[in-house]
Amino acid sequence: MNLRKIVSKKGLCIVLAILMLLPVVAACGVFSARDPLERQDFLDVMEENGFEIVDYTNELTGELEDLVSLYLLAVSPSGSYQIEFIEFHTIAGAEAVFAGTMANAESLSGNARSHSSVNGVNHNTFRQTSAGLYSHLLRVDNTFIFVLGADADYRDEIRAKIDLIS
């Protein structure tokens, strides 16, 4: 009989813990859709912050050329990193390139790393700091913004710029 009381209390504790975690998970954006990333927002933020914009769309070849409708590079004023903005013809194309870029970011990692990842309804986010390098990837629908392997000293600056766009 005492065993039943213990099991019931444990079950109740588990249910309460799950109920307390749901708002935390929801706050991370897992259950909600994000607004689309807009090309003009990207251009406005980058130009306001002194970035040089390069349209790389016509330089693409092979499979990437077939997947992409727009590819913009924004080079930081110091030339220390670049933020890339890509519009794909399809969501599946954006998801595939996001996954490949995330694998590339993970391959840059050393023994010690910190990372976070969110897979939401219409978006994916991946951030990693490791071996003095910072990568930040954000896909919403068919649009993908990323920084791959920038000097980790620029992490806060990069996050702030991507937050302004998204």
pLDDT in tens, 23-48: 544 444 455 787 888 999 999 999 99
Statement to judge: residues 80 and 149 lie in one domain: yes
Q: What is the pTM of this model?
A: 0.80
Statement to judge: residues 74 and 123 lie in one domain: yes
Statement to judge: residues 96 and 158 lie in one domain: yes
How many domains does the chain fold into?
2
Percent with pLDDT over 70 in the chain: 81
Helices (H) and strands (E) in the chain, counts: 5, 7
pLDDT in tens, 4-16: 555 556 654 454 4
Where residue 96 sits, what CATH number does that domain have?
A: 3.40.1000
Range of the domain at 24: 1-31
Statement to judge: residues 106 and 132 lie in one domain: yes
